[in-house]
Amino acid sequence: MAILTALAHTVPLAFASGVNLYATVAVLGLCSHYGLVGLPEQFRAFDNPIIIVAAIALYLVEFVADKIPWFDSVWDVVHTVVRPVGGALVAVTALGDASPAGRVLAALLGGSIAMTTHLTKAGTRAVANTSPEPFSNWALSLGEDVLAVGISYVALAHPMIALAVAIALLIVIGAFASYLIRAIRRRFFGQPATASLQLPQRPR
């Protein structure tokens, strides 16, 4: 039961961190600071005005950057390291008191989940950016913001529900990973060339 409780905090928060790290940290900080949700002691680490203000400021920057086609892909490239590392740190912090081995496992799990959601987000946005209209990009960005904030809050208020949702979404990501990879290849590298058939020439 203790393992399940630990996973209920670490998995959803790592998932959200890969989508939007700053929104996740901001939700953790605000919920802890204002007592919006009764939280274990380890979440006091996010209850710092400097951390909260920095997370909100960076979230606002990302909110704008994420709405600009192609610049959002550059932003995602920069955050290929930031989000997984942040997801690992959030997972370790959410775990609370644990053995060194437990902390290492939490960091590996959190980093891997955050990397998975980050790559899915970055790949989806890269495909959307090839469309001439910006509306699909904006819709994806807003949806990602809602997902990150929503799953972060639910992970604090109803961790078991958040765990079930995060696992279900990870299964969906795994099921559609090959489709996303093929879509990226088609968009950026074109369809594979097919050999042209040549009719035999009649002897003269």
pLDDT tens per residue across all 204 residues of the chain: 678 888 998 999 999 999 999 999 999 999 999 999 988 888 999 999 999 999 999 999 999 998 888 888 899 999 999 999 999 999 999 988 888 898 999 999 999 999 999 999 988 888 887 777 778 888 999 999 999 999 999 999 999 999 999 999 999 999 888 888 887 777 666 654 444 444 455 555
Q: Is there a contact between 21 and 83 (Cβ–Cβ < 8 Å)? A: yes
The C-alpha atoms of residue 51 and residue 49 are separated, in whole angstroms, by 5
Helix locations, the chain, DSSP H: 2-19, 21-33, 49-65, 71-95, 100-128, 135-157, 159-189
Distance between terminal CA atoms of the chain?
85
This prediction has a pTM of 0.86
Enumerate the domain spans of the chain.
2-189
Neighbours of 20 (CB within 10 A): 29
The two structure tokens encoding residue 115: 């990397």
Give, in degrees to the nearest 5, the angle at Cα 195 between 191 and 197: 135
